Amino acid sequence: MSEESAHKELSKLEEKFALADEEVMKLQNKLYKPILEERKAVLKSIPKFWPMVLEQYGEAIEKHITPDDQELLETIESIEVERDDDDIRSFEIKFVFGNNEFLEQTEITKKFKAISKHGQDIKYESTPVEIKWKTGKDLTKREKGAAPSFFDFFAFKGDDKEMFPEAEEIAASISEDLYPNAAKYYVDAIKELYEDEDESDISLSEEDEDEDEENNESDAIEEPPQKKLRSE
């Protein structure tokens, strides 16, 4: 086999790997669905679950969140990812919000369609989503030069003129990692919270001990031993 023929065969094998990956994804999706439905029911009893998961997830998402974005994201009650059974690489992400001062709606759904060929890096296209903002509360309207809002993510189309080119990365992170592994990120967040509280308690305890030592030293200085009276 010539080197050129070997390259062609290698390319065909990569396509086979990609097709096999899709079959694995289909099986995984089928097995995950009932478990994720059970989790969804359980999470209704855990306040602030999704805001804590988003905060814990790290820089891939955190770097795109402004302080105003954070205020709205704190009201998220649910994040759901649903994959297309006929095109398993395509999916939609649904965000469900509680009462807030920003949105007229409670749900925002963004769909991503995979357009790359087998064996290639996945690229997506998407129809921009119109968010219904309350008057004067549109987080995507900002002064010139200001950082983009996380909610510009919903305007992503997939062309070369994106003002939010990281939308693909965020969508992939949510669908492939944050959503299926949400419980892990929540547990990590809780652990960090308790560790911070323990450190705070230790710090306060040390401060109290230092204060007691200072008071004891002060008492020793202020109350010298009395001299005995000389007998005549």
pLDDT by residue (tens digit) across 174-231? 999 999 999 999 999 999 988 867 666 555 555 556 565 666 555 555 555 554 444 4
**Greater pLDDT, 107 or 15:** 107
Q: What is the pLDDT of residue 147?
A: 84
Q: What is the pLDDT of residue 212?
A: 58
pLDDT digits (tens, 9 = 90+) for 109-149: 999 999 876 556 788 999 999 999 999 999 999 887 788 89
Q: By three-state DSSP, how is residue 48 classified?
A: coil
Task: Kindly report the CATH number assigned to the domain that includes residue 103.
Answer: 3.30.1120.90
Q: Is residue 206 part of a domain?
A: no
Element (H, E) at 113: strand 107-114
Q: What is the mean pLDDT of residues 29-35?
A: 96
Q: Is residue 103 part of a domain?
A: yes
Q: Is residue 2 part of a domain?
A: no
Where do runs of H (alpha helix) occur along 89-181? 167-173
User: Helix 182-222 crosses helix 49-57 at what angle (to 10 degrees)?
Assistant: 80
Q: What is the pLDDT of residue 116?
A: 72
Q: Is residue 203 part of a domain?
A: no
**Greater pLDDT, 30 or 164:** 30
CA 92 – CA 33 distance, rounded (Å): 14
Q: What is the mean pLDDT of residues 53-71?
A: 93
- AA letter at 137: K
Q: Is residue 160 part of a domain?
A: yes
How many CB atoms within 10 Å of residue 191? 11
Domain carrying residue 185: 8-194
Q: What is the mean pLDDT of residues 7-33?
A: 90
Structure tokens at 219: 């008492």
Element (H, E) at 31: helix 3-43
Q: What does DSSP say about strands 76-83 and 124-125: parallel, antiparallel, or unpaired?
A: unpaired
| Number of domains comprising the chain | 1
Which among 141, 136, 162, 143 is positioned nearest to 151, based on CA atoms?
Answer: 141
Q: What is the pLDDT of residue 231?
A: 44
Q: Is residue 218 part of a domain?
A: no
Q: Is residue 229 part of a domain?
A: no
Q: What is the pLDDT of residue 44?
A: 94
Q: Is residue 220 part of a domain?
A: no
